[in-house]
Structure 1
Amino acid sequence: MTINRGQNVIRIIQTFELLARPQGATYGEIAEILEVHERTARRNVDIIMQLGIEIIEIGREGKFSYKASHEYVRKIGNTKFPCIFFSVPELIALFLMKTNFTILNGTQIEGYINSAFEKIASITTLKVSDMVNTIKKIYIKSYDFDKDYTEKEKIIDIVNQAIIKKKQCKMSYYSFAKENIAEYNISPLCFFSKNGGLYLFVRFDNHKDVRTIAVERIQKITLLNKNYKYPRGFNPEKLLENSFGVIFDDPVFVKIWFSSSQAKYIDERVWSTREVKNYCPDGSIILELNTSGWFDVKRWILGFGADAKLLEPRELVEELRSDLQRALNAY
């Protein structure tokens, strides 16, 4: 009889239950109760030990019996499970992962995240809630003026299904530029978060390029029974590496001078995977990089005021000068 992987896992759990008894169990008892060969019983105990669970060897009635240390046992209902020990760095990593997507607070997805952490807590020896409260005092997350997605749960769920199944969707979307709601057939590729917002990389039926849409502007969406092919060569991680915001235009090379008062701030961060920093004798710095989304880059430069100056490309220097003149005229 062929034993599938699921049955093997069940038998390992059953083996642990026997080891968790006050008297433990011998290899022979495990084999008899689980109706397996004694070699299988020995192998299951070895697997449990490889998971880092302490198994104590005790003498009982002239035979060796094996028992799980009580520190590694947690009873849930009528079943005993192995406890999992988390180190402080591991708990910090879990906490940071949990707090990474605060833009989904108030949605059903937050409930799923909390439920998953409660399940983790149920099989650990530590009070995870106490540890999390301690970690919160160490790592404070700043608020990014997150957008509200509490009314978009169903939309996010449908898009999740579409991405997993590679299905197209029919979408009603509000455009700020056109100030109207229009319907599109889209192929949703993946979500990403930026500046407190949740966005989606998509391909429109009538357009080959990958575009970005804001999730909160999706008014309605339905799943279509039509598959799509993931675009060849599309790499969202690489695209996001070289972007300043959520507008992804053709790549543009920029060369920007920053004053000495801002040079340290510019130098301490990596702004692009293909950046070059040139240090000037007066303490100022010149940053060269290839990026996408000129609108976002322009807004970023303007935010530095007189402490930043675009040097190249010349045509964008003229555009920036014109924008500054219009801003001056407004005052």
Structure 2
Amino acid sequence: MGVGKRAYNELKKLTLLARPHGATETTLMIAGSNEDKRSARSFIEKLKENHIPIKENAELREIPKEYRMMNLLNPNVLLTEVMALHLLKGESLLFKDAGTASHLKSAFEKIQKAMPDDVVEKLEKIQEVFLPVKKLVKDYSGKGEIIHTLVHAMAHRKVCRVRYMAFQDEKTKEYAIHPLHLFPYRGGIYLLIHLPGPDVIRMQAVERLQEVHLLEETFSYPQDFDPSAHFEKTFGIVADRPVKARVWLSPRQSGMIKAEKRFNKQNKMIRFLEENEEGTIMEIDTLGRSELKNWILSMGKDAMALAPEDLRQEIIASLQNSLNPVVSGSA
């Protein structure tokens, strides 16, 4: 489960506990993406250990026990709301090296000044309940000024001139962009841009931006462009060549992917054609051909492209290249 998804599930459980009638262990299990009862009970015990006030009902044994998290703050400020901010603080490692750490620290210091000391102490301990994963975060040291420039450009609709090292050929190119949105994805920060010349939407990895210069020229947001609708058509975040593929997954992988939101049966991009003890065959209609190919490769023997044939051949070629790497300087 991804870092953001885990934090979202934990916040759902906190919100349920904060209701006037609280929540049962079963309710917490469902909120935690169908985790087991022991995990739900462990979550409650961890809150108690960190002095988060939990009240248990005293009903008869045959009635499911309910737990309620008491609010310590002003009635207009819910404990869950402040906890949500602390969860975000824990997940803010992504932006730690991007020059925003000092701003986050300043904001939390101001919030804490408005709260009693004992409440501040309890909230600080919430970091022990939700452990952020650091190893997936990319290094953005030295990119703070670039990100600040982009934020300013997006807020004021200013054109930027950038030097960017493309992933495909590792060549650095310089050109003008219309920066639209910054967003986190799998431990990285990405920039959604509009290229005015060819009139296309593209993605840039912030760590590959070498220079960003703010220009005086302004731009208008692309008419009829909806970023949410844009990402609904992609397999990940990159919109490249369209592909309609059939993919086989082993029983083990079939169970794992069903926990991912993008494989929800309500997703129009995905169709489950067959599901049995031998695995799952699904049809994926997407603009993200390269990310789909990499996803299939990442599962090794537990996944296989059935169609189209040109995608199968691309995957076969990638596997053959991995067995016969080109070594620099070899004969």
Partner of 2:261: helix, strand, or coil?
Answer: coil
Please tell me whether residue 108 in structure 1 is matched to residue 99 in structure 2.
yes
Structure 1 length normalisation: TM-score?
0.67
Are residues 317 and 116 of structure 1, via their aligned partners in 2, closer, same or farther at CA, if it must alter by over 3 Å?
Answer: same
Please tell me whether residue 164 in structure 1 is matched to residue 155 in structure 2.
yes
Are residues 289 and 178 of structure 1, via their aligned partners in 2, closer, same or farther at CA, if it must alter by over 3 Å?
Answer: closer
- Residue 136 of structure 1 is matched in structure 2 by 127
Are residues 208 and 259 of structure 1, via their aligned partners in 2, closer, same or farther at CA, if it must alter by over 3 Å?
Answer: same
- Cα drift, residue 94 of structure 1: 1.6
Alpha-carbon displacement from aligned partner over 1:234-282 (angstroms, at most 9, x marks no partner) = 2223333443444321443222111112221122222253223345332
Counterpart of 1:268 in structure 2: which amino acid? A
Map 1:195-206 onto structure 2 (within 5 A): 195-206=186-197
Q: 1 CA distance for matches of 2:256 and 2:154? A: 39
Are residues 263 and 176 of structure 1, via their aligned partners in 2, closer, same or farther at CA, if it must alter by over 3 Å?
Answer: closer
Map 1:156-305 onto structure 2 (within 5 A): 156-272=147-263, 273-274=267-268, 275-282=270-277, 284-305=279-300
- Cα drift, residue 176 of structure 1: 4.2
- Cα drift, residue 208 of structure 1: 0.6
The match for 1:321 among 316, 323, 331 is 316
- Residue 36 of structure 1 is matched in structure 2 by none
Partner of 2:191: helix, strand, or coil?
Answer: strand
Q: 2 CA distance for matches of 1:159 and 1:187? A: 10
Pairs aligned (count): 251
Are residues 101 and 241 of structure 1, via their aligned partners in 2, closer, same or farther at CA, if it must alter by over 3 Å?
Answer: farther
RMSD: 2.6
The match for 1:120 among 99, 111, 114 is 111
- Cα drift, residue 115 of structure 1: 1.3
Map 1:19-58 onto structure 2 (within 5 A): none
Partner of 1:151: helix, strand, or coil?
Answer: coil
Q: 1 CA distance for matches of 2:213 and 2:157? A: 14
Q: Note the residue ranges of structure 1 that are not aligned, 5 or more in a row.
A: 1-70, 73-82
Counterpart of 2:305 in structure 1: which amino acid? L
Higher mean C-alpha deviation, range 161-170 or range 109-118: 109-118
- Cα drift, residue 129 of structure 1: 4.4
CA contact (8 A) 1:104 1:149 kept: yes
The match for 2:142 among 140, 144, 151 is 151
CA contact (8 A) 2:180 2:191 kept: yes
- Residue 3 of structure 1 is matched in structure 2 by none
Counterpart of 2:299 in structure 1: which amino acid? F
Q: 1 CA distance for matches of 2:296 and 2:143? A: 33
CA contact (8 A) 1:278 1:285 kept: yes
Partner of 2:104: helix, strand, or coil?
Answer: helix
CA contact (8 A) 1:255 1:287 kept: yes
- Residue 26 of structure 1 is matched in structure 2 by none
Are residues 135 and 262 of structure 1, via their aligned partners in 2, closer, same or farther at CA, if it must alter by over 3 Å?
Answer: same
Q: 2 CA distance for matches of 1:250 and 1:127? A: 56
- Cα drift, residue 166 of structure 1: 0.6
Identity of aligned residues (%): 30
Q: 1 CA distance for matches of 2:253 and 2:154? A: 42
- Cα drift, residue 107 of structure 1: 3.7
Are residues 328 and 189 of structure 1, via their aligned partners in 2, closer, same or farther at CA, if it must alter by over 3 Å?
Answer: same
Alpha-carbon displacement from aligned partner over 1:127-163 (angstroms, at most 9, x marks no partner) = 4542343322222222353222221111111111110
Partner of 2:148: helix, strand, or coil?
Answer: helix
Partner of 1:187: helix, strand, or coil?
Answer: strand
Q: 2 CA distance for matches of 1:330 and 1:222? A: 39
Q: Over alpha carbons, which structure has the higher Rg?
A: 1
CA contact (8 A) 1:169 1:185 kept: yes
Counterpart of 2:156 in structure 1: which amino acid? K
Are residues 141 and 244 of structure 1, via their aligned partners in 2, closer, same or farther at CA, if it must alter by over 3 Å?
Answer: farther
Are residues 330 and 215 of structure 1, via their aligned partners in 2, closer, same or farther at CA, if it must alter by over 3 Å?
Answer: closer
Counterpart of 1:174 in structure 2: which amino acid? M
CA contact (8 A) 2:90 2:127 kept: no
- Cα drift, residue 126 of structure 1: 5.7
Partner of 2:210: helix, strand, or coil?
Answer: strand
Q: Note the residue ranges of structure 2 that are not aligned, 5 or more in a row.
A: 1-71, 327-331
